[in-house]
């Protein structure tokens, strides 16, 4: 019997780089296809909303990066709505300190660590940090939260520690050490940072949208096997509506004030 522990060994436990490469190769190969139904059943994936029938997926990677049917994630209608860029569990730090520090699971992080530059952190003093944690059950494609111009895109980090309770509480510091894709967007003259944080043995992030101008709800990229999205917003730019916990892509989480 294939158990959750088996899948955790593939998707959630940090290991040796050679093992990570082997797991990534296996998950992308047709050799993993026989595991698709058990994976979908174990994590109770909602295949009714998937773009394809389950038998059409050729690997675990193919399943994990699945597209959804049209209108499976309707976008919030208000023109000033700032939407969730992904499915996941949302936590919020509403007022950053003067040195742009925020606390996650008892660990202090700074925006300068997250973004890799002291200068970038200055504009976020007193601002808001939105953290979206994705689990195996979630839809793993990431979208654009607001109409915006893409100012700058870069990557940082190499590690692949788990972004879960273990990784967040016990010194692994995945949010600022793991591989991450950072995009600086500009919406109505105000910049905000959108960070896709890789994790797990496979640690893969793909940007799928090369456009310099993007619309709210546009596809932007995907995680091959899970992780976290962090959005940093300057003080006064976003009025958070107050809902935390499980969210779906397209759901309104705030009003853009800029």
pLDDT in tens, 62-116: 998 999 999 999 999 998 999 999 999 999 988 887 777 776 655 677 888 889 8
**Location of structure tokens 């016990």:** 170
| Active site annotation includes 194 | no
Distance CA 148, CA 213 (A): 6
> pLDDT exceeding 90 applies to what percent of the chain?
54
The half-sphere exposure of 242 on its side-chain side, counting CA atoms within 13 A, is 0
In a 10 Å sphere around its CB, with 0-12 CB exposed, 13-18 middle and 19+ buried, how is residue 10 labelled? Answer: buried
- What local confidence, expressed as pLDDT, does residue 228 receive? 86
| Active site annotation includes 87 | yes
Q: Collapsing DSSP states into helix, strand and coil, what is residue 14?
A: coil
- What local confidence, expressed as pLDDT, does residue 150 receive? 98
Q: Helix count (H) and strand count (E) of the chain? A: 8, 16
Q: What is the mean pLDDT of residues 190-209?
A: 82
Active-site annotation holder among 32, 59, 61, 87: 87
pLDDT in tens, 20-36: 567 778 888 999 999 99
Q: What is the mean pLDDT of residues 158-162?
A: 56
- What local confidence, expressed as pLDDT, does residue 205 receive? 86
- What local confidence, expressed as pLDDT, does residue 236 receive? 94
Q: What is the mean pLDDT of residues 31-45?
A: 91
Instruction: List, in sequence order, every beta strand (DSSP E) within the chain.
Output: 81-83, 88-93, 101-104, 107-110, 128-133, 141-143, 148-156, 180-187, 190-198, 205-207, 213-214, 219-223, 227-233, 238-240, 245-247, 252-256
Most confident of 83-92, 168-177, 223-232: 83-92
- Mean pLDDT over each residue of the chain, to the nearest integer: 83
pLDDT at position 167 over 50? no
Other CB atoms within 10 A of residue 157 CB: 19
Active-site annotation holder among 61, 140, 143, 194: 143
Active-site annotation holder among 59, 84, 121, 227: 227
pLDDT at position 135 over 80? yes
| Active site annotation includes 16 | no
- What local confidence, expressed as pLDDT, does residue 86 receive? 97
Distance CA 228, CA 194 (A): 11
Distance CA 125, CA 152 (A): 20
- What local confidence, expressed as pLDDT, does residue 20 receive? 59
In a 10 Å sphere around its CB, with 0-12 CB exposed, 13-18 middle and 19+ buried, how is residue 44 labelled? Answer: exposed
pLDDT at position 165 over 50? no
- What local confidence, expressed as pLDDT, does residue 230 receive? 93
pLDDT interval class at 174 (50, 70, 90): low
- What local confidence, expressed as pLDDT, does residue 168 receive? 43
């Amino acid at each position: 019997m294939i158990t959750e522990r088996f899948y955790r060994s593939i998707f959630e436990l940090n290991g040796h780089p050679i093992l990570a490469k082997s797991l990534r190769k296996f998950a992308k190969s047709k050799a993993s296809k026989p595991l698709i139904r058990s994976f979908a059943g174990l994590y109770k994936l909602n295949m009714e909303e998937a773009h394809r029938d389950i038998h059409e997926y050729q690997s675990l990677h193919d399943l994990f990066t699945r597209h959804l049917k049209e209108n499976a994630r309707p976008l919030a209608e208000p023109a000033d709505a700032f939407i969730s860029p992904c499915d996941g569990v949302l936590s919020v730090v509403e007022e950053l300190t003067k040195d742009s520090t925020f606390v996650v699971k008892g660990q202090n992080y700074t925006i300068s660590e997250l973004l890799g530059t002291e200068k970038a952190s200055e504009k976020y003093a007193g601002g808001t940090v939105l953290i979206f944690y994705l689990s195996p059950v979630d839809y793993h494609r990431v979208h654009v939260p607001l109409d915006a111009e893409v100012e700058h895109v870069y990557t940082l980090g190499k590690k692949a520690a788990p972004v879960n309770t273990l990784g967040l509480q016990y010194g692994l510091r995945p949010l600022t050490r793991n591989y991450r894709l950072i995009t600086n967007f500009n919406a109505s003259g105000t910049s905000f940072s959108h960070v896709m944080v890789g994790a797990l043995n496979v640690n893969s992030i793909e940007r799928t949208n090369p456009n310099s101008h993007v619309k709210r709800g546009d596809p932007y990229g995907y995680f091959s096997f899970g992780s976290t999205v962090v959005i940093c917003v300057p003080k006064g730019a976003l009025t958070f509506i107050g809902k935390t916990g499980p969210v779906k892509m397209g759901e309104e989480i705030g009003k853009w004030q800029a």
